[in-house]
Structure 1
Amino acid sequence: MGEEEASKGEDTVEEIRRMSGYGGDVIAVGGFPTSDSESDSDLAAAEIMIIWAIQGPTSFAPNTLVSQSSLELRLDACGHSLSILQSPCSLNTPGVTGSVMWDSGVVLGKFLEHSVDSKLLSLEAKKIVELGSGCGLVGCVAALLGGNVVLTDLPDRLRLLKKNVDTNLQRGGNTRGSAVVQELVWGDDPDPDLIEPFPDYVLGSDVIYSEEAVHHLIQTLVQLCGDQTTIFLSGELRNDAVLEYFLESALKHFAIGRVEQTQWHPDYRSRRVVLYVLEKKSKRCLADVSSLNQSC
Structure 2
Amino acid sequence: MACEEVKGEEEEELAMVSLGSYGGKVRLLVAGEESAAEEIMLLWGIQQPTLSKPNAFVSQSSLQLRLDSCGQSLSILQSPSSLSTPGVTGAAMWDSGVILGKFLEHSVDSGMLTVQGKKIVELGSGCGLVGCIAALLGGQVILTDLPDRLRLLRKNIETNMNHGGVRGSATATELIWGEDPDPEIIEPVPDYVLGSDVVYSEGAVVDLLVTLEQLSGPNTTIFLAGELRNDAVLEYFIEAAMDKFIIGRVDQTLWHPDYRSKRVVLYVLVKK
- TM-score under structure 1 length normalisation: 0.87
Task: Report the Cα distance in structure 2 between the residues aligned to 1:256 and 1:22, rounded to whole angstroms.
Answer: 12
Task: Report the Cα distance in structure 1 between the residues aligned to 2:172 and 2:131, rounded to whole angstroms.
Answer: 10
Q: Paired residue for 2:189? A: 198
Q: Does 1:23 align with 2:14?
A: no
Q: Paired residue for 2:44? A: 52
Q: Paired residue for 2:79? A: 87
CA deviation after TM superposition for structure 1 residue 193, in Å = 1.3
Deviations 1:7-38 (A, max 9, x none): xxxx9x6411111310000001135xxxxxx3
CA deviation after TM superposition for structure 1 residue 54, in Å = 1.5
- For residues 262-277 of structure 1, what are the structure 2 equivalents within 5 Å? 262-277=253-268
- For residues 79-118 of structure 1, what are the structure 2 equivalents within 5 Å? 79-118=71-110
Calculate percent identity across the aligned residue pairs.
68
Contact 2:227 2:265 (C-alpha < 8 Å) held by counterparts: yes
CA deviation after TM superposition for structure 1 residue 98, in Å = 0.5
Equivalent position amino acid for 1:67 in 2 = S
Task: Report the Cα distance in structure 2 between the residues aligned to 1:194 and 1:162, rounded to whole angstroms.
Answer: 17
Task: Report the Cα distance in structure 2 between the residues aligned to 1:94 and 1:212, rounded to whole angstroms.
Answer: 15
Deviations 1:113-137 (A, max 9, x none): 0000000001000000000000000
CA deviation after TM superposition for structure 1 residue 217, in Å = 0.5
Task: Report the Cα distance in structure 2 between the residues aligned to 1:62 and 1:213, rounded to whole angstroms.
Answer: 23
Structure 2: tracts of 5 or more residues without a match = 1-8
* Larger relative contact order (CA 8 Å, sep ≥ 6): 1
Q: Secondary structure at the match of 1:30?
A: coil
Q: Paired residue for 1:293? A: none
Q: Paired residue for 2:54? A: 62
CA deviation after TM superposition for structure 1 residue 61, in Å = 1.9
Equivalent position amino acid for 2:145 in 1 = D
Q: Secondary structure at the match of 1:22?
A: coil
Task: Report the Cα distance in structure 2 between the residues aligned to 1:105 and 1:167, rounded to whole angstroms.
Answer: 18
Q: Secondary structure at the match of 2:23?
A: strand
Q: Secondary structure at the match of 2:25?
A: strand
Alignment equivalent of 1:133, drawn from 108, 125, 138: 125
Deviations 1:238-284 (A, max 9, x none): 01001000101111110000000000000000010000000001xxx
CA deviation after TM superposition for structure 1 residue 173, in Å = 3.7
Decide which structure has greater strand share: 1
Equivalent position amino acid for 1:132 in 2 = G
Task: Report the Cα distance in structure 1 between the residues aligned to 2:40 and 2:207, rounded to whole angstroms.
Answer: 22
Structure 1: tracts of 5 or more residues without a match = 1-10, 32-37, 282-296
Q: Secondary structure at the match of 2:61?
A: coil
Task: Report the Cα distance in structure 2 between the residues aligned to 1:20 and 1:137, rounded to whole angstroms.
Answer: 23
Q: Paired residue for 1:166? A: 158
Q: Secondary structure at the match of 1:24?
A: coil
Alignment equivalent of 2:167, drawn from 173, 176, 183: 176
Q: Does 1:150 align with 2:178?
A: no
Q: Does 1:226 align with 2:217?
A: yes
Task: Extract structure 1 runs of 4+ deviating beyond 6 A.
Answer: none
State the aligned residue count. Answer: 261
Deviations 1:84-104 (A, max 9, x none): 000011111111110000000
CA deviation after TM superposition for structure 1 residue 174, in Å = 2.9
Task: Report the Cα distance in structure 1 between the residues aligned to 2:35 and 2:165, rounded to whole angstroms.
Answer: 45
Aligned residues: CA RMSD: 1.1
